[in-house]
């Protein structure tokens, strides 16, 4: 099945927007920005270019309805309020690019503002899917549900009554499952209402639709829209997907529910071939969508509309830290006085602790960490604690494991140390391969290469090292092929690292004479990558584990 997808709106002029391009994700697009930057107008434009009344490829009418009996179409009066003075013919020119599921081809059109009598009327022109002899001034065929701010009319101000929707009655458990998942509740009843607004809410047995919160009502309307598309997919054999537009999607939802909303929408977009475009001011929702856009660049988009540099510009895939700086008219710089929690950092052994400290030596991020030198566990123990969901290890701290630990990337609280070997092997190989005239050997302790080879003689013998350099990874692999347990070798490296003379050499304060800091300088690319990974995890840990506003976390970069 070919899915219809809105790809791009090129807004040459309309209200505050001049020469602004909006590119949409295949699943979820979040539009945010200051007041007066025409966020809702973009939703209106997207709604305006579609209708769902005729399949022109077969010249057949489409008479499908939403669960509440409405059309899969938003009328101009539902998404625009035009000004007689400023919204005049010629004041809107928008280029449209999409993939049309009915013709299975890319398509273009233009949206312009004309006037019929005294009423301003947006009209699609130059619809490229129309054959040469046809009327090119028609909308594209595609089902749309537009959830405007009207849905947020307080329940106390509505004219409404309990109403029975047949599809919802037959699929009530699915509705309950969706709303309970979103709000982390265990509601057992659902009631639909009609009147000034068609809605449905999930609630418990000890209260009903007259006493639900605004967030529960917003959640119910979004889930009702999703289920309407499911109903359409079940009934319409030539279904090409749908477009769900939501103004201020986060209204009334607590932060965890906002994140869950994006997760649910992403899943339903996949199952129902939907495309969702929403506006939001929520830091949590915007930042989570941004994070997803970095992993899945086609599926997710965050678009920030800014007038900081004059006319409104659309900035794509911005993080909340950058957006927050623009909204608060502040620079994105670290504040030395910022108050943030100190995050515990765990290691397998002292060697990992030493490498970590060298890698983050004099880095601003270091002051927000609490590296735990004397608490060491094996990698399997840490992974088990994380798998069991122990908060200290799963969400409130960071575990730095050796670079050779397999399958650790699946656990978000684990950050692998730089390098490709355990730290004791790493530093041994680095020092063994340094030439005898390297400046590091000119230390006041007189710890030189011959001293190194004397202390490491058991390792050199066990691995049969000869010559001026050694490939420790290859030698260890060969050793373990002969002795799969590798127990003796681990003990030899531990003994080498704990040697009193070697420890004194490692603990020299002057950077040019400190072996670990010298290793970091020689492996700057690897260590910079580690720092970036660690900073990203620090931000996630503080935001998710300690509920710190991500806008404050610019200090960590």
Please provide residue 348's backbone torsions phi and psi, each rounded to the nearest 5 degrees. -75, -30
* DSSP structure class, residue 4: P
**pLDDT score of 334:** 45
Surface-to-core class of residue 428, CB atoms within 10 Å of its CB (0-12 exposed, 13-18 middle, 19+ buried): buried
Provide the percentage of residues in the chain whose pLDDT is more than 70.
96
Whole-number Å distance between alpha carbons of 326 and 320? 10
Last residue of a domain, one of 264, 296, 327: 327
Whether residues 377 and 514 share a domain: the answer is: no
Question: 386 near 407, Cβ under 8 Å?
Answer: no
- Secondary structure of residue 505 in the 3-state scheme: helix
Point out which residues pair with 190 in neighbouring strands. Answer: 202
* DSSP letter, residue 51: E
Tell me if residue 444 falls in helix, strand or coil.
Answer: coil
Instruction: Identify which of 61, 64, 92, 62 has the alpha carbon closest to the alpha carbon of residue 76.
Output: 92
* Residue with more model confidence, 168 or 119: 168
Query: 368 and 294, same structural domain?
Result: no
Same domain for 134 and 251, yes or no, is yes
94 pLDDT exceeds 80?
Answer: yes
Looking at the structure, tell me whether residues 509 and 452 fall in a common domain. yes
Q: Are residues 105 and 248 in the same domain?
A: yes
32 and 121 belong to one structural domain: yes
Q: Average model confidence (pLDDT) for the chain?
A: 89
Query: Do residue 512 and residue 536 come from a single domain?
Result: no
Residue 328 pLDDT level (bands cut at 50, 70, 90): low
Q: Does residue 116 sit within a domain?
A: yes
Q: What is the pLDDT of residues 243-290, one digit of tens each?
A: 999 999 999 898 889 999 999 999 999 999 999 999 998 888 988 898
Give a yes or no: residue 208 inside a domain: no
Residue 51 CA to its chain's centroid (Å): 31
* Number of domains forming the structure of the chain: 3
- Is 210 among the domain residues? no
413 and 457 share a domain?
no
DSSP 478-491: HHHHH-TT-HHHHH
Q: Distance between CA 459 and CA 453 in Å, rounded?
A: 9
**Could you give the CA distance from residue 358 to residue 374 in angstroms, rounded to a whole number?**
17
Total residues found in the chain within this entry: 557
Report the C-alpha gap between 32 and 77 in whole angstroms.
23
Q: Which pair of structure tokens corresponds to residue 140?
A: 């594209």
380/321 same-domain check: no
Q: Would the pLDDT of 227 be above 90?
A: yes
- pLDDT of 336: 44
Give the pLDDT score at 12. Answer: 95
Q: Position of tokens 């899915």?
A: 3
State the Cα–Cα distance between residues 40 and 46, nearest whole angstrom.
Answer: 10
50's tokens: 């579609």
What is the mean predicted confidence (pLDDT) over 70-95? 88
Please give the average per-residue pLDDT across 402-424, as a whole number: 91
Domain boundary among 327, 359, 392: 327
**217 in a domain, yes or no?**
no
- 539 and 464 within one domain: no
On the 0-12 / 13-18 / 19+ scale of CB atoms within 10 A, 481 is exposed
- 370 shares a domain with 491: no
Q: Are strands 300-306 and 313-316 parallel, antiparallel or unpaired?
A: antiparallel
Structural domain includes residue 489: yes
Q: Is residue 197 part of a domain?
A: no
CA–CA separation, 369 vs 352, rounded Å?
15
Give pLDDT tens digits for 363-408.
888 888 999 988 888 899 999 999 999 989 999 999 999 998 988 8
Q: Would you call 469 exposed, middle or buried from its count of C-beta atoms within 10 A (0-12, 13-18, 19+)?
A: exposed
Structural domain range at position 389: 343-419+526-556
Residue 335 has pLDDT above 50, yes or no: no
Query: 10 Å Cβ neighbour count for 141?
Result: 21
Q: What is the pLDDT of residue 1?
A: 67
Assigned domain for 336 exists: no
End-to-end CA distance of the chain: 44
Clarify whether residues 457 and 515 are in a common domain: yes
Q: CB under 8 Å to 79, separation ≥6 — which residues?
A: 40, 43, 44, 47, 48, 146, 148, 245
Rounded Cα distance, 217 and 352, in Å? 51
CATH number at residue 10: 3.40.50.300
Read off the pTM. 0.64
The mean-pLDDT minimum among 92-101, 180-189, 340-349, 540-549 falls in 540-549
Is residue 47, in this structure, part of any structural domain at all?
yes
2: left (phi over 0), alpha (psi -120 to 50) or beta: beta
In tens, the pLDDT along 154-164 reads: 777 787 788 88
């Amino acid at each position: 099945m070919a899915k219809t997808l809105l790809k791009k709106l090129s807004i040459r002029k309309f209200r505050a927007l001049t020469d602004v391009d909006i590119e949409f994700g295949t699943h979820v697009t979040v539009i945010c920005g200051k007041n007066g930057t025409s966020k809702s107008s973009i939703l209106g434009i997207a709604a305006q270019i579609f209708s769902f009344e005729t399949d022109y490829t077969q010249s057949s009418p489409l008479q499908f309805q939403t669960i509440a009996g409405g059309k899969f179409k938003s009328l101009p009066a539902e998404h625009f309020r035009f000004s007689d003075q400023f919204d005049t013919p010629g004041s809107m020119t928008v280029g449209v690019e999409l993939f049309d599921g009915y013709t299975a081809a890319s398509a273009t059109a233009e949206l312009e503002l004309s006037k019929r009598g005294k009423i301003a009327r947006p009209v699609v022109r130059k619809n490229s899917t129309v054959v040469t002899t046809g009327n090119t001034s028609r909308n594209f065929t595609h089902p749309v549900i537009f959830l405007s701010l009207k849905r947020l009319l307080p329940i106390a101000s509505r004219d409404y009554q309990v109403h029975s929707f047949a599809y919802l009655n037959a699929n009530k458990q699915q509705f309950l499952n969706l709303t309970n998942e979103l709000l982390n509740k265990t509601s057992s009843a659902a009631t639909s209402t009609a009147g000034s607004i068609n809605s449905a809410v999930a609630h418990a047995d000890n209260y009903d639709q007259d006493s639900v919160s605004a967030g529960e009502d917003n959640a119910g309307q979004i889930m009702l829209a999703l289920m309407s598309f499911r109903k359409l997919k079940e009934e319409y054999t030539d279904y090409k997907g749908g477009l769900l537009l939501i103004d201020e999607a986060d209204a009334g939802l607590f932060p965890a529910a906002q994140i869950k909303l994006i997760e649910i929408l992403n899943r339903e977009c996949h199952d129902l071939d939907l495309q969702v475009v929403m506006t939001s001011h929520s830091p949590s929702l915007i930042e989570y969508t941004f994070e997803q856009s970095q992993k899945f660049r086609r599926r997710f988009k965050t678009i920030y509309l800014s007038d900081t540099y004059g006319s409104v510009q659309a900035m794509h895939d911005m993080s909340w830290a950058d957006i927050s700086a623009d909204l608060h008219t502040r620079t994105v710089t670290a504040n030395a006085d910022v108050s943030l929690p100190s995050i515990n950092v765990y290691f397998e052994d002292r060697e990992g602790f030493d490498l970590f400290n060298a890698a983050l030596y004099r880095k601003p991020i270091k002051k927000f960490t609490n590296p735990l030198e004397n608490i060491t566990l094996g990698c399997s123990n840490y992974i088990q604690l994380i798998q069991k969901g122990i908060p200290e290890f799963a969400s409130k701290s960071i575990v730095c494991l050796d670079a050779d630990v397999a399958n650790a990337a699946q656990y978000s609280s684990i950050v692998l140390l730089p390098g490709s070997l355990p730290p004791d092997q790493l530093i041994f190989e680095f020092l063994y391969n340094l030439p005898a005239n390297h400046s590091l050997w000119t230390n006041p302790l007189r710890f030189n290469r011959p001293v190194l080879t004397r202390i490491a003689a058991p390792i050199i013998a066990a691995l049969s090292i000869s010559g001026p350099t050694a490939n420790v990874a290859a030698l260890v692999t060969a050793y373990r092929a002969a002795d799969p347990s590798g127990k003796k070798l681990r003990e030899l490296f531990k003994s080498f690292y704990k040697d009193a003379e070697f420890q004194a050499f490692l603990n020299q304060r002057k950077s040019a004479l400190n072996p670990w800091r010298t290793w970091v300088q020689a492996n700057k690319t690897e260590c910079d990558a580690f720092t970036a990974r660690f900073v990203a995890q620090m931000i996630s840990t503080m935001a998710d584990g300690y509920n710190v506003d991500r806008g404050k976390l610019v200090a960590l970069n």
